[in-house]
Structure 1
Amino acid sequence: MEVTAYLDRIGYHGPHEATAETLRMLHAAHAFAVPFENLDIHLGRTISLDPASLFDKIVRRRRGGYCFELNGLFALLLERLGFSVRHLMARVLWGQTEVGPLSHRVLLVETGGERWIADVGFGGNGLIAAIPLAAGHEERQYADRFRVTTVEQGEDRSESRRGYRQEYRLDCLVKDVWEPMYSFTAESYLPVDYTYANYFHSHSPESLFTQKRLCTKPTPNGRIILQNRALKIRHDGQSQTEALKTPEAYRAMLADHFGIALSDHELSACFGERVETNG
């Protein structure tokens, strides 16, 4: 972990002390600089969660990633700066009609006697800044509004898990309706838990990430979303969608909006069909 290189990658020039203010500033810098994207899956590459691989991809090669990658590397940065980080798993509710598995990596950060949820790897209307883990808390973050609520559940009699099984939910306000994003508890998870979930998301034909090429990043006034060859730009509550009809338009869009540069081979694979995976 080269802290200076990481901070340069996200354009952060603020304080380094492990405070709530620093956490929120780091989180926002990361969200605005590093896109959520799954293009490597469609390039047939293994999604490695090894710290050195994550650093090389996101910092040195200036790419993005999805939750297991982005939150995994962000956690290492926070720990290096002196924050206490707990690794959580969340159940995605956004756009779901059925109850799904725990499949999203989230971070719980403790500083100054307070607990915060940090998540720089949610591809929908994700957080821009860390948010306090406090039931009933509601706040606006640039163009979006979020709230934290609690979820009723049965009693957990496990002594070792007492105090960590309260279930929370993160919501986002969409057209005056609170839409649930995901639910989670404060229970810690191990690296192997993410390895299994990461393998499913990057290999299974049932995974959204193998079905669609995705790239998204927030802006101060909205969000930029790429889904396959359709580019959608939300700005001040209005949306505009453009079909990218040529590889050249696709390449220019990735460079201009997401800072991603593709070789000719990569462009062909991302614009067209998925190439064979390497297992």
Structure 2
Amino acid sequence: MSDLNFLFRKRIGISDDEVITFQNLDKVLEKTAKAIPFENLCIMENRTTQITNENVMSKILEQNEGGLCYELNSILYLFLIENNFNTTLIRGVVYDHMKQQWSATGKTHVANLIDHNGQLYLVDTGFGGNLPLKPVPLNGEMVESNNGEFRVDDQESEHGDYILYMKLKHKDEDWKIGYAFNSNEGFTNITELNEVQKIIIKHPESAFNKNPLMIKLTDKGNMILTDSSFTEWVDGKMTKKKIDEKRFSLIRKEYFNL
């Protein structure tokens, strides 16, 4: 077993001898979401590195940090390859619901596409609190998880041929757009993600270069930490508290281990 395979299993809590199959991939995704936070601290603290297999592995599996979509889904990609999945990375454009438009940062969302028995599935562990937690087939079929309902529609847009829709548990009454992507533009070299990281770091419309953000799923909901507030969702009920710099540091360590 490779170091990456061993360390990824250790980080999310899966035994060395468990065979990872498509049938138990939802278990892997849920454990990953609860163990590895979505966070932008490297950007906020000006300590980003080049996106390479070695650097992503070092950051997430050896230093036990989290990351943004291009880091979280690239380490998942490497783990899936190690476990004999037929997968590629894709880039998509997130829909900004606050502004009611596609994100000005362009194709900066990163996810995985898995080919299983001739059917393509979207697999994403880097979409903050919006994670499907299960493979979502590219045939419009809805999947339901502890985080809500999700589907991928064959739908042309200016950004590709498919759109992920979601209805988050306890939060959404109607379907809303997650992101659009092109299923024909898959890639396997994660160094391509340096372009994504550069945009996220420098673009004036980037949501991740202004304030610290940490999100992690829990057994009963999720936790969201910024430099000014700590929000907990538990069984559909939200508690939001204003915090100061000292409290931020304490919560960051206690709840996110960062």
Name the TM-score, length of structure 2 as normaliser.
Answer: 0.87
Q: Indicate yes or no: 2:231 matched with 1:226.
A: no
Q: In structure 2, how many angstroms separate the alpha carbons of the residues matched to 1:75 and 1:8? A: 17
Give the C-alpha shift of residue 113 in structure 1: 3.5
Higher relative contact order (CA closer than 8 Å, sequence separation 6+): 1
Letter in 1 for 2:201: S
Q: Which consecutive segments of 4 or more residues in structure 1 shift more than 6 A?
A: none
| Native 8 Å contact 1:84 1:111 kept in 2 | yes
1:153–1:119 Cα change, 3 Å: closer
Q: Indicate yes or no: 2:81 matched with 1:84.
A: no
1:53–1:153 Cα change, 3 Å: closer
Aligned-pair RMSD on alpha carbons?
A: 2.2
Q: In structure 2, how many angstroms separate the alpha carbons of the residues matched to 1:120 and 1:255? A: 22
Letter in 2 for 1:130: P
Give the C-alpha shift of residue 15 in structure 1: 6.5
Q: Indicate yes or no: 2:153 matched with 1:149.
A: yes
SS in structure 1 opposite 2:201? helix
Q: In structure 2, how many angstroms separate the alpha carbons of the residues matched to 1:108 and 1:32? A: 21
**Where does residue 68 of structure 1 map in the other structure?**
70
Counting only pairs closer than 5 Å after superposition, residues 140-219 of structure 1 correspond to structure 2 as 140-152=144-156, 167-173=161-167, 174-187=171-184, 188-189=186-187, 191=190, 193-219=192-218
**Where does residue 59 of structure 2 map in the other structure?**
57
> Which segments of 5 or more consecutive residues in structure 2 lack a partner in the other structure?
none
**Where does residue 50 of structure 2 map in the other structure?**
48
The percentage of aligned residue pairs carrying the same residue is 24
SS in structure 2 opposite 1:59? helix
Give the C-alpha shift of residue 216 in structure 1: 0.1
Q: In structure 1, how many angstroms separate the alpha carbons of the residues matched to 2:238 and 2:52? A: 37
Deviates more, 1:98-107 or 1:62-71: 98-107
Letter in 2 for 1:259: N
Give the C-alpha shift of residue 86 in structure 1: 1.3
Letter in 1 for 2:255: H
Larger radius of gyration: 1
Deviates more, 1:83-92 or 1:119-128: 119-128
Deviations 1:60-104 (A, max 9, x none): 111100011111111001001111111111110142423332111
Give the C-alpha shift of residue 107 in structure 1: 0.5
**Where does residue 263 of structure 1 map in the other structure?**
none
How many residue pairs get aligned? The number is: 248
Residue 120 (structure 2) aligned to one of 92, 109, 115: 115
| Native 8 Å contact 2:222 2:234 kept in 1 | yes
Q: In structure 2, how many angstroms separate the alpha carbons of the residues matched to 1:241 and 1:121? A: 23
Deviations 1:202-225 (A, max 9, x none): 233331111121100112321111
Q: In structure 2, how many angstroms separate the alpha carbons of the residues matched to 1:23 and 1:41? A: 30
Give the C-alpha shift of residue 36 in structure 1: 0.2
**Where does residue 39 of structure 1 map in the other structure?**
41
Residue 257 (structure 2) aligned to one of 253, 256, 259: 259
| Native 8 Å contact 1:94 1:179 kept in 2 | no
SS in structure 1 opposite 2:225? strand
> Which segments of 5 or more consecutive residues in structure 1 lack a partner in the other structure?
155-164, 261-279
SS in structure 2 opposite 1:127? coil
Q: In structure 2, how many angstroms separate the alpha carbons of the residues matched to 1:17 and 1:69? A: 24
Q: In structure 2, how many angstroms separate the alpha carbons of the residues matched to 1:12 and 1:119? A: 19
Q: In structure 1, how many angstroms separate the alpha carbons of the residues matched to 2:55 and 2:86? A: 23
1:242–1:85 Cα change, 3 Å: same
Q: In structure 2, how many angstroms separate the alpha carbons of the residues matched to 1:102 and 1:38? A: 18
